[in-house]
Amino acid sequence: QSALTQPASVSGSPGQSITISCTGTSSDVGGYNHVSWYQQHPGKAPKIMIYEVTNRPSGVSNRFSGSKSGNTASLTISGLQAEDEADYYCSSYTSGSTFRVFGGGTKLTVL
Amino acid sequence: EVQLVESGGHLVQPGGSLRLSCAASGFTFSNYWMSWVRQAPGKGLEWVANIKYDGTEKNYVDSVRGRFTVSRDNARNSMYLQMSTLRAEDTAVYYCARDAYPYAVDVWGQGTTVTVSS
């Protein structure tokens, strides 16, 4: 069981917006702004999409945005495109013994 | 070009040992924290360990603490993961990763596969 909880799957049509949630506790997501999001296509290494809750690395489309409320962080993808179909993982620093944790991952299907 | 290349993945019997290597290029290796992240077949990502830029601080996930040791050689631009007392549940693709942002990875290697089976 992953430390952070994500929905197993979400879907949307091209052009639509979707949001993926990532729920933790006050020891990780709720207590720190060290939440990041990663995209992973099948057979490929992950790619960072968001860091420090809301920041986009250079080169990442502004269709990707992050937010946080309480113990839940969210990744929103607007204007869905076929190439967005992938697995998405959240991650957070934790004050627990594990130091850093990932969510279980969410499979995004573009219909 | 910033690049991380892992090596050392292999088939090993339960209880055995293995050493993974990560060769870095294209950036000043000694300036960065580095991490190992693994992914079991068909499963999600799991952070395994990280090491401070000068090697003076190391952190581990609970499931590997006491069995795995992370180290680095800044003169060789390399990081290592010494794994011992391996278990079937350690079977995974192991990624070498650069920590550029606070507690986030910006560069990943292509991964090396470790299979623990008799």
Q: What is the mean pLDDT of residues A80-89?
A: 98
Contact flag A102-B60 (C-beta cutoff 8 Å) = no
A30-76 residue pLDDT tens: 999 999 999 999 999 999 999 999 999 999 999 999 999 999 999 99
Q: Residue B73: pLDDT above 80?
A: yes
Candidate from A13-17, A52-56, A93-97, B104-108 with smallest mean pLDDT: A93-97
A86 closest CA partner among A111, A109, A61, A63: A109
Q: Residue B101: pLDDT above 90?
A: no
* Mean pLDDT of all residues belonging to chain B: 96
Residue A40, helix vs strand vs coil: strand
Q: Residue B102: pLDDT above 90?
A: no
Task: Report the pLDDT value the prediction gives residue A99, as an integer from 0 to 100.
Answer: 84
Nearest C-alpha of chain B: how many angstroms from A63? Answer: 19
Distance CA B110, CA B100 (A): 18
Contact flag A52-B102 (C-beta cutoff 8 Å) = yes
Q: What is the 8-class DSSP label of residue A5?
A: B
Q: Residue B85: pLDDT above 90?
A: yes
Cβ-nearest to A105 among B44, B50, B110: B44
Distance CA B19, CA B7 (A): 9
Confidence at A3, pLDDT banded by 50, 70, 90: confident
Cβ atoms of B18 and B10 closer than 8 Å:
yes
Find chain B residues with C-beta within 8 A of A103's C-beta. Answer: 44
The dihedral through the CA atoms of A18, B108, B53, A91 has a sign that is positive
Best of B2, B6, B47, B52 to disrupt the A interface by mutation (most A CBs within 10 Å)?
B47
Cβ atoms of A110 and A14 closer than 8 Å:
yes
Cβ-nearest to A102 among B46, B60, B62: B46
Task: Report the pLDDT value the prediction gives residue A96, as an integer from 0 to 100.
Answer: 80
Cβ-nearest to A45 among B47, B59, B109: B109
φ/ψ of B29, rounded to 5, equals -55, -40
Instruction: Tell me the percentage of chain B whose pLDDT exceeds 90.
Output: 97
Residue A91, helix vs strand vs coil: strand
Instruction: Tell me the percentage of chain A whose pLDDT exceeds 90.
Output: 92
